């Protein structure tokens, strides 16, 4: 069925910019809403096995929810586009062309998810589109040279596309006038039950990964690429999250659960999230080498989300497709360098079914 595209005003930014909410939909099958504040994914409404449509991503009913101090102070980045760099950076610095770049620390002395005002807090230009078999919107932002002390002026495009089969794709494209680094992701939080008062511990998860990245006490990769075998990070077969997440393991202790990067074996159907209660299933494919899996360990009922609900620990799970965290300080990891003559491109696809 041909998807349809609608839009409306969602509110106004603190600087007075009009924020638009775009909805990409196939009636009765899927509704995806995104806005140009933070190029943010705000809603995902899909049916359960009985056809009941429910929203299955965390978010807020209005723009004001995303601007509230209680939310901003807890660095949750719900649904946001993250950039220039996803995750943390060792000692808040990296070296490039013989120069050291010192980055601002925005969380407990750490540079996280792009810094003090990352891409999640920017107002992006938006261009909706329709083709013969899809609808979507492309968000554009220019990150100026020196923003958050990153080098190079970077032009960035993030495109959300819904095709006639109901498949959602998020694609990224970027270019820079100087040698620089880039590692973006989307920070959507999924709870396929559609009931945000429940945790995701009953969800099944599959990750096609033989290896994962252990981290240190600062939530940074140690540099080791470890085997998942015999650890709570072995999801090579679909497994209920509640079983491994409560094991006695030092890596789980460091994060209060899972907040680790999995080294993907292949791009197609590389991860599955499944809720046996509703039958909803998410199958993910990506061009990225890593999948950061975060089980909502730091959600603490500190702010109100949709329908006035607060989001507690493990209310949702993030599946962040990206290059490995802190790659700028680990030359053994796949490179996140972007040269002036190059174009950065990345794609992640989401297929939703009900069983």
Catalytic positions, please? 187, 320
Widest distance between CA atoms in the chain: 60
End-to-end CA distance of the chain: 20
Cα–Cα distance between 283 and 124 in angstroms, integer? 28
Q: Which strand (E) or helix (H) includes residue 17?
A: none
CA distances from 279 to 46, 202, 240, 275 (A): 11, 12, 14, 5
Assign residue 145 a region (left: φ > 0; alpha: ψ between -120 and 50; beta: otherwise). beta
CA distances from 196 to 35, 59, 216, 239 (A): 21, 10, 31, 21
Phi, psi of 121 (to 5 degrees): -110, 10
Phi, psi of 221 (to 5 degrees): -60, 140
Q: Which strand (E) or helix (H) includes residue 29?
A: none
Cα–Cα distance between 112 and 83 in angstroms, integer? 10
How far is residue 71 CA from its own chain's centroid?
17
Please answer whether residues 18 and 36 qualify as being in contact, where contact means their C-beta atoms are separated by less than 8 angstroms: no
Bridge partners, residue 241, by sequence:
none
CA distances from 226 to 81, 214, 258, 265 (A): 28, 7, 15, 14
Query: How is 82-106 classified by DSSP, letter by letter?
Result: E-SB-SB-GGGEEEETTEEEE----
């Amino acid at each position: 069925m041909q998807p349809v595209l609608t839009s409306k005003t969602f509110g106004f930014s603190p600087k007075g910019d009009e924020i638009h909410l775009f909805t990409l939909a196939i009636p009765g099958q899927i509704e995806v809403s995104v806005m140009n504040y933070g190029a943010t994914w705000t809603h995902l409404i899909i049916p359960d096995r009985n056809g009941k449509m429910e929203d299955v991503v965390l978010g807020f009913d209005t723009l004001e929810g995303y601007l509230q101090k209680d939310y901003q102070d807890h660095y949750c980045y719900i649904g946001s586009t993250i950039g220039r760099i996803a995750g943390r950076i060792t000692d808040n610095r990296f070296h490039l062309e013989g120069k050291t770049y010192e980055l601002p620390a925005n969380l407990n002395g750490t540079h996280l998810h792009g810094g003090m005002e990352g891409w999640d807090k920017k107002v992006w230009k938006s261009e909706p589109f329709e083709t013969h078999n899809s609808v979507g919107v492309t968000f554009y932002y220019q990150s100026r040279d020196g923003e958050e002390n990153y080098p190079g002026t970077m032009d960035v495009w993030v495109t959300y596309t819904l095709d006639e089969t109901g498949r959602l794709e998020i694609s990224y494209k970027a270019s820079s006038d100087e040698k620089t680094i880039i590692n973006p992701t989307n920070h959507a939080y999924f709870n396929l039950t559609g009931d945000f008062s429940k945790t995701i511990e009953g969800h099944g998860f599959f990750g096609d990964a033989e290896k994962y990245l252990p981290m240190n006490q600062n939530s940074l990769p140690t540099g080791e690429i470890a085997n998942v075998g015999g650890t709570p990070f072995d999801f090579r077969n679909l497994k209920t999250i509640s079983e491994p997440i409560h094991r006695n393991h030092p890596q789980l202790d460091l994060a209060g659960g899972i907040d680790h990067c999995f080294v993907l074996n292949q791009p197609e159907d590389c991860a599955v999230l499944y809720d046996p209660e509703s039958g909803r299933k998410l199958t993910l494919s990506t061009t990225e080498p890593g999948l950061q899996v975060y089980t909502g360990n730091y959600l603490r009922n500190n702010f109100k989300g949709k329908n006035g609900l607060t989001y507690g620990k493990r209310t949702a799970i993030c599946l962040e497709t990206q290059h490995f965290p802190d790659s700028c300080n680990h030359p053994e990891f796949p490179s996140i360098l972007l040269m002036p003559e190059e174009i950065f491109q990345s794609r992640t696809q989401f297929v939703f079914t009900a069983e």
